[in-house]
Amino acid sequence: MKSIQFIRLVVAIAVVTLFSCQGKNAGNSPDNENKNAVVKTNSKGKYAIKSGIIEYNGTVMGMQQVQTQIFDDYGNKEVTLTQMEMMGVKTDQHTLTKDGFTYTFDMKEKTGTKTPASPVTNIDFRNLTEDMKNAMKLEELGKETFLGKSCVKYSLDYDRYQMKGSFLVWNGIPLKTNIDMSGIEVNLEATKIEENPTIPAGTFDVPDDIKFQ
C-alpha cells in the first residue's frame, strides 16, 4: 500500500511540474499578484495552434513513464494522460485543466483532487510578464531544432519552489523538459506531434463518478 501511495505522489508531482495552464492561483501570494498583472498579448490562449495531441516519453526519478497531452481551444482545455509502472504496480492518471481548475484523478480508483490551476508550476510561456520571468529567473537561450520544429530554449532557476532546469518550447508547448524539483528529477521528450486534429467529444468532460477532494 505504501509503495502505491508513493507512486501516485511521484506521478502527481511530475504532472504539475511539466505542463502549462492558465487559471487563478488561490490566495494572495506574490505569485498570484504577478499572475494577475499579466498583460495578455496572445489572447486566444497559451498555445499558438488551436488543438493538438502530443505523445511523450520520459522518466521521473529514473522511472519510465508515457504521457499523452491533448488540448483544444488554444490550450484553454487540456488533458494529460500519464501511465507509469513501479514494482509491478501500474498507474493511469488523468490531469484535466479547464475553466480555471485542474482535476487530477484515477479512473480505476474513482478518486481525485480539484485545485485552482496555478501559473507557477504550469508555465504559460506566451503570456508572461517581466515580473514573472524575473521571479522564476526564466531566460531565453536562443533557438534549437527538435523533432523538426524550431523551438525557443529556456533556462529556469526558481528559488522559491527549488526548481531548476530547461525547456524547449514550440508555439508555447514544451516539447522537451528537464527539471529538478527539490531533488526530484523529471525528464520528458515529445516523440510525436499531431497538429490541429479534431478532438473527440467528451475528451474534456469531468467524470461524474469521481469523488474529488
101 within 8 A of 114, measured Cβ to Cβ: yes
Mean pLDDT in residue range 127-146: 93
Tens digits of residue pLDDT in 168-197: 999 999 999 999 988 889 999 999 999 999
pLDDT at 183: 87
197 or 83: whose pLDDT is higher? 197
**Residue 8: what pLDDT?**
46
Confidence of residue 109 (pLDDT cuts 50, 70, 90): confident
Query: Is pLDDT of 24 > 60?
Result: no
Model confidence at 117, in pLDDT bands (50, 70, 90)? confident
Most confident residue range from 12-16, 24-28, 82-86, 117-121: 82-86
The arithmetic mean of pLDDT across residues 9-23, rounded, is 42
Checking if the pLDDT of 42 tops 70, the result is no
Percent of the chain predicted with pLDDT > 90: 51
Is pLDDT larger for residue 81 or for residue 122? 81
- pLDDT value at position 133? 92
Amino acid at 122: N
Domains of the chain by start residue, with CATH: 2-212 (2.50.20.10)
For every residue of the chain, DSSP letters joined together read -HHHHHHHHHHHHHHHHH-----PPSSS-HHHHHHHT---SSTT-SSSSS-EEEEEEEEETTEEEEEEEEEEGGGTEEEEEEEEEETTEEEEEEEEEETTEEEEEETTTTEEEEEE--TTTS--TTS--HHHHHHHT-EEEEEEEETTEEEEEEEEEEGGGTEEEEEEEETTEEEEEEEEETTEEEEEEEEEEEESPPPPTTTTPPPTT-EE-
Q: What is the 3-state secondary structure (H, E, C) of 35-47?
A: HHCCCCCCCCCCC
Residues 160, 173, 96, 68, CA torsion sign = negative
Identify the band that residue 126 occupies on the pLDDT scale cut at 50, 70 and 90: very high
> Looking at residue 62, what is its pLDDT?
81
**Mean pLDDT of the 200-208 span:** 93
